[in-house]
Structure formats: structure tokens, C-alpha cells
């Protein structure tokens, strides 16, 4: 399996070549040259597999340059009940992403698929844990080193640190805005004592952190010398790892391959639902893929109108589902490439226009950049939006009707799923975090604290290890060089 850029760059690297990288050389995103097809027979034979076995079957199709036995060992090491046991007591950890039927009436079924039972209590662990093991494996083969450098306002940074802690050849340098994350989130990251994890609290806001990462990434000489890599949401291996749980969800919710299901996905950077799109392109019988956004509704706007209009920082709202607070959706280009039938010249032009004009228009109306919006339905996509008030209402509703405390992002998903569920088609909502991570809003909605999984009761009082720094690019470069010794 070879990969190519959505913007048409002539190189066609393999899976291992793009594993540690980010964007393609022309600024595009990598996609496989074709989507592997899963036959009906194969899908049936997957019904009895464990999560780890299923993961290996799917990875084999995408990572053809890694020996099959090694992939099997890597997924067996990653997807263990022990690593995914943070779920509620009523769930079976060995299932890794257990399903729970919330509601069943008049032939309609609403199902929640738990993706947040990993070490940091958010779905990002599903992919990041695998990435940690894949990185270590690849680096050992090349006797290489990798220094992951990034900025976080919450879920991504902690998922990366828990995936990379103690891994040979890997260090993580993670910037976060000093005293701007929740006490729970900073405690999760800062309580890590592993010598290969470096937490840097920047005296500024998240944008300052991101600017520092950009400045360092633009210094190619420094980046090369210090072996700097990233694990942001455009990383192809992360997307592939997410494809697995769509298959798992489908297989668990159905008993034969004639049945269809729909998924609703709380979305920000379009990484999670992009994996659903790929699963569907591979032949998984998915009827609809519903994008759920919060007040930052860039994606909802596109799926309603065909207009993609990115927001300025000042227009990007801080909401109570903060992991979906995006100004543009970094994985969206992968879907646009398929929507445009692989016309990379047009994709390149459209995303150039995003930079120069803040967006593009595929509505087909006079003056638009194309009429492909009419084809969006062929890919199963639909969308909806949820606000803070909706979130509170949905959290209360789930508490009364299902005796279940849901997190704010999952609440956005359930609210939107209800607007799209159809008779005879199970609607699976992806649960993206546990409520303990966003306790402030749980309190506002329910007047009590969210329950904490075992082991997290006193996380805020654990000793913390982090350095405070001014938003100074020269300073962070010195810091990295000093700790890598490179
Ligand atoms: C990252 C995240 C999302 C958004 O996922 P995307 O892949 O960026 O669309 C939703 N919910 C939670 C809890 C997250 O951490």
C-alpha cells in the first residue's frame, strides 16, 4: 500500500515512511492510493475476533510494509483489558469499546459506544496508545530517536504523554497554557514522573503555545537536528487506528452483514469522523455519518450549505465542550479529496483559497468554486449542532432516563443523533470522553460531581513535575536542545 498527497505531490511513500511525519511536502494530507475493500466474507469472519485481532486485520491492509506477525504483536500489546479498564463497572473492559443500548422504541435504537476507557479518559487514547507502540517499534528498527513537540489545551497532550511515557528513543515536550487548563487536566499531565516526559507551562494562552510550536517547526535546521516530530490529528496512523472501532461498533451492533448502522460523532478537527468515512469507503455498511458540532459550527455550516468558511481566533468560542472548539477542521481536506473524486489540482486550489480568502464554496450557486455539495449525501454525511443549553439538557436527560452521566462532548453527539435516527437503523453515538474530565459542567447540569474512575480520586494532590516558561521561542529551543543533548 502506497500513499499520496491530497494536493498531488508525485512521491508515494509507504506506511512506515509517513508514520512519524505530518503534512506531505506540498502541504497536503496523505491518503492511501486506493481504499482497501473488505469483502462480505471477510467481514463475517471478523465477527468472532477480539478487538486486538480485528485491529491487526485492518492494519495489515494499510501497513503492508510491516510484517504481519509484528502488527499482531503490536495490537495485542496495545488493546488489553488492563489498558482500557477505566470504564464504568457495568462495562466489560475486555471489549475495549463496549456498546450500551440507551433506548429502544418503535424499531429505533440509540446506542453508545465507549471510546474513553483508556488511561486519559478520552477517545484520543484509542489511536495514541497504538501510535506509541508503533513509534517505539519503528525507532528500534532504525536505532532512531524522536522528540515529539506539541501544544495542548487538554486531551491531545495527555493522550500523547500517556502513550509515549517510558518508551525507548522517544521524548515528549508538551506546551500548555499556564493555569488555563482544568485542575484535573493539568494534574493528569503534570503528575507524570517519567524522565522522557517534559511538561512546559507557558505564561500565555493556548494560541501563544501554538505559535511557539509553529515557529520551531518552521526552523527546518533545528527540527532536523533535534529530530522533532508531531502527533497532531492529521497523522495518518491515528486516523487508521480510529477506523478499527467503527468496524467493532458495526460488528457488535449487528448480527449479519445485510444490516446497516449509522454513526453520530462529536467532531472538531474531523479526525474521528474521517475514520468513519474511510470505514464506509472500505465497504462497511454504514448508512449515515452524522457530524455533531458545538457552537463552533464550521463543519455543520458546510454540511448544510456547501460553504466552508474558517473562523478567525476571535470568532472561535470557548465552550463547555472545549475539545471541539476549532476554527478550521484540519482533517477535512481528506474528505474534500474524495468528494472531488481525487482531483488534487482542485483540492490544492481550494485549500490555497482557504489561506487567502478564508474558505471556499461548493454549493454550485453563481460564483461558487464547484457544485460537489450535491454529492455529499452519496457519502452518507449529515450534520447537527448543539449549544451549551442543549448540553445541559441532554446531560440531565441522560441522567434521568438512562441513569448515566455523560460528558459534554458526548452530550453534543446524543443531542444531534436524536435529530437523525431512523427506524430499523441502529444509531451509534461515539462517546468521546468520560464526564470526570469536564466536571464543572456536570455540576452545573446535575448539581453534583461526576464520578471518578478508580485511581483518579486524588489525582490533583499527586506531586507535579513541570517547568514554567515565558512565550519565548529562543527559550524553548534552548530547553529542548538541553534536554535532548543533540
Ligand atoms: C478531540 C476530541 C473531539 C474531536 O475529535 P476530532 O477528531 O478532532 O473531530 C471530541 N471530543 C473529545 C472529548 C475530544 O478529545
> 144-202 pLDDT, tens per residue?
899 999 998 878 899 999 999 999 999 999 999 998 888 888 999 999 999 999 999 99
Q: Are 196 and 166 in contact (CB under 8 A)?
A: yes
Residue nearest to atom 2 of ligand 1 (CA): 323
> Pocket of ligand 1, candidates 121, 324, 334: which has the most ligand atoms within 8 Å of its Cβ, to mutate?
324
Residue nearest to atom 8 of ligand 1 (CA): 269
User: How far apart, in whole angstroms, are the C-alpha atoms of residue 306 and residue 122?
Assistant: 31
Average pLDDT over the chain, rounded to an integer: 94
Closest to 339 in 3D by CA, of 290, 385, 274? 274
Q: Are 263 and 289 in contact (CB under 8 A)?
A: yes
Closest to 131 in 3D by CA, of 114, 146, 143, 116? 146
pLDDT (mean) for 65-88: 89
User: How far apart, in whole angstroms, are the C-alpha atoms of residue 135 and residue 448?
Assistant: 41
> 372-397 pLDDT, tens per residue?
999 999 999 999 999 999 999 999 99
Q: Which residues pair with 384 in a beta bridge?
A: 292
User: How far apart, in whole angstroms, are the C-alpha atoms of residue 269 and residue 335?
Assistant: 12
Closest to 40 in 3D by CA, of 378, 245, 284? 284
| Pairing outcome for strands 197-202 and 108-114 | unpaired
Q: For the beta carbon of residue 288, count every other beta carbon within 10 angstroms.
A: 21
98 lines ligand 1 (CB under 6 A): no
- pLDDT score of 230: 83
> 12-35 pLDDT, tens per residue?
999 999 998 788 999 999 999 999
Closest to 57 in 3D by CA, of 76, 36, 72? 72
> 101-134 pLDDT, tens per residue?
999 988 899 999 999 999 999 999 999 999 999 9
- pLDDT score of 397: 98
Distance from the CA of 98 to the center of ligand 1, in angstroms?
19
Q: Which residues pair with 201 in a beta bridge?
A: 176, 468
> Pocket of ligand 1, candidates 122, 152, 327: which has the most ligand atoms within 8 Å of its Cβ, to mutate?
122
Res. 349: pLDDT tops 70: yes
- Going through 24-121 in order, the beta strands assigned E by DSSP cover 30-32, 99-105, 108-114
334 lines ligand 1 (CB under 6 A): no
pLDDT category at 285 given cuts 50, 70, 90 is very high
Distance from the CA of 225 to the center of ligand 1, in angstroms?
32
Q: What are phi and psi of 387, to 5 degrees?
A: -110, 175
pLDDT category at 217 given cuts 50, 70, 90 is confident
Secondary element (H or E) of residue 146: strand 146-151
> 233-253 pLDDT, tens per residue?
889 999 999 999 999 999 999
Res. 87: pLDDT tops 80: no
- pLDDT score of 187: 93
Closest to 135 in 3D by CA, of 174, 159, 167? 167
Res. 91: pLDDT tops 80: no
User: How far apart, in whole angstroms, are the C-alpha atoms of residue 157 and residue 191?
Assistant: 13
pLDDT (mean) for 39-51: 96
Catalytic residue among 124, 167, 227, 415: 124
Res. 89: pLDDT tops 90: no
pLDDT (mean) for 79-83: 89
Name the CATH topology of 95-118+237-446. Answer: Rossmann fold (3.40.50)
- pLDDT score of 233: 84
Closest to 26 in 3D by CA, of 4, 46, 42? 4
266 lines ligand 1 (CB under 6 A): yes
Distance from the CA of 453 to the center of ligand 1, in angstroms?
20
User: How far apart, in whole angstroms, are the C-alpha atoms of residue 399 and residue 119?
Assistant: 24
- Going through 294-416 in order, the beta strands assigned E by DSSP cover 307-309, 359-361, 381-385
> Pocket of ligand 1, candidates 266, 294, 408: which has the most ligand atoms within 8 Å of its Cβ, to mutate?
266
- pLDDT score of 129: 96
Q: Are 12 and 4 in contact (CB under 8 A)?
A: yes
238 lines ligand 1 (CB under 6 A): no
Tell me the three cell numbers of residue 386.
448543539
In the residue annotation, 124 being an active-site residue is answered as yes
User: How far apart, in whole angstroms, are the C-alpha atoms of residue 258 and residue 20?
Assistant: 38
Enumerate the domain spans of the chain. 95-118+237-446
User: How far apart, in whole angstroms, are the C-alpha atoms of residue 329 and residue 270?
Assistant: 6
Amino acid at each position: 500500500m502506497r500513499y499520496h498527497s491530497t494536493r498531488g505531490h508525485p512521491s508515494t511513500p509507504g506506511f512506515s515512511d509517513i508514520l512519524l511525519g505530518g503534512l506531505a511536502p506540498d502541504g497536503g494530507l496523505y491518503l492511501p492510493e486506493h481504499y482497501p475493500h473488505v469483502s462480505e466474507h471477510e467481514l463475517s469472519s471478523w465477527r468472532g475476533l477480539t478487538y486486538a485481532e480485528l485491529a491487526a486485520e485492518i492494519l495489515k491492509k494499510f501497513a503492508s510494509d510491516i510484517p504481519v506477525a509484528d502488527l499482531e504483536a503490536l495490537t495485542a500489546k496495545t488493546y488489553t483489558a488492563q489498558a482500557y479498564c477505566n470504564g464504568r463497572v457495568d462495562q466489560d473492559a475486555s471489549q475495549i469499546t463496549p456498546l450500551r443500548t440507551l433506548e429502544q422504541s418503535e424499531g429505533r435504537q440509540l446506542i453508545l459506544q465507549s471510546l474513553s476507557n483508556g488511561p486519559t479518559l478520552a477517545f484520543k487514547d484509542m489511536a495514541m496508545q497504538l501510535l506509541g507502540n508503533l513509534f517505539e517499534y519503528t525507532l528500534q528498527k532504525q536505532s532512531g530517536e524522536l522528540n515529539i513537540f506539541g501544544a495542548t489545551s487538554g486531551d491531545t497532550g495527555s493522550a500523547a504523554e500517556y502513550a509515549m511515557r517510558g518508551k525507548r528513543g522517544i521524548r515528549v515536550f508538551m506546551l500548555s497554557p499556564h493555569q488555563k487548563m482544568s485542575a484535573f487536566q493539568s494534574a493528569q499531565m503534570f503528575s507524570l514522573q517519567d524522565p522522557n516526559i517534559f511538561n512546559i507551562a507557558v505564561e500565555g494562552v493556548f494560541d501563544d503555545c501554538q505559535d511557539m510550536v509553529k515557529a520551531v517547526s518552521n526552523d527546518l535546521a533545528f527540527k532536523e537536528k533535534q529530530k522533532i516530530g508531531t502527533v497532531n490529528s492529521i497523522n495518518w496512523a491515528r486516523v487508521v487506528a480510529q477506523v478499527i472501532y467503527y468496524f467493532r461498533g458495526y460488528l457488535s451492533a449487528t448480527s449479519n452483514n445485510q444490516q446497516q448502522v449509522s454513526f453520530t460523532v462529536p467532531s472538531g478537527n474531523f479526525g474521528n469522523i474521517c475514520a468513519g468515512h474511510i470505514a464506509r469507503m472500505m465497504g462497511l455498511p454504514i448508512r449515515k455519518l452524522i457530524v455533531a458540532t458545538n457552537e463552533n459550527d464550521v463543519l455543520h455550516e458546510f454540511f448544510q450549505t456547501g460553504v466552508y468558511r474558517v473562523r478567525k481566533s476571535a470568532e472561535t468560542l470557548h465552550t463547555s465542550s472545549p475539545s471541539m472548539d476549532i476554527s478550521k477542521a484540519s482533517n477535512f481536506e481528506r474528505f474534500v479529496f474524495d468528494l472531488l473524486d481525487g482531483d488534487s489540482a482542485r483540492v490544492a486550489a481550494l485549500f490555497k483559497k482557504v489561506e487567502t480568502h478564508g474558505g471556499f464554496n461548493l454549493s454550485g450557486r453563481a460564483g461558487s468554486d464547484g457544485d460537489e455539495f450535491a454529492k455529499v449525501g452519496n457519502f452518507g454525511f449529515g450534520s447537527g449542532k448543539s449549544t451549551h443549553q442543549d448540553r445541559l439538557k441532554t446531560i440531565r436527560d441522560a441522567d434521568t432516563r438512562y441513569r448515566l452521566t455523560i460528558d459534554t462532548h458526548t452530550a453534543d453527539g446524543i443531542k444531534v443523533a436524536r435529530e437523525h435516527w431512523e427506524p430499523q437503523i441502529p444509531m451509534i453515538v461515539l462517546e468521546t470522553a468520560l464526564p470526570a474530565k469536564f466536571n464543572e459542567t456536570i455540576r452545573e447540569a446535575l448539581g453534583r460531581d461526576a464520578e471518578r474512575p478508580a485511581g483518579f480520586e486524588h489525582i490533583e494532590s499527586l506531586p507535579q513535575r513541570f517547568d514554567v516558561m515565558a512565550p519565548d521561542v529562543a527559550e524553548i529551543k534552548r530547553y529542548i536542545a538541553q534536554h535532548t543533548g543533540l
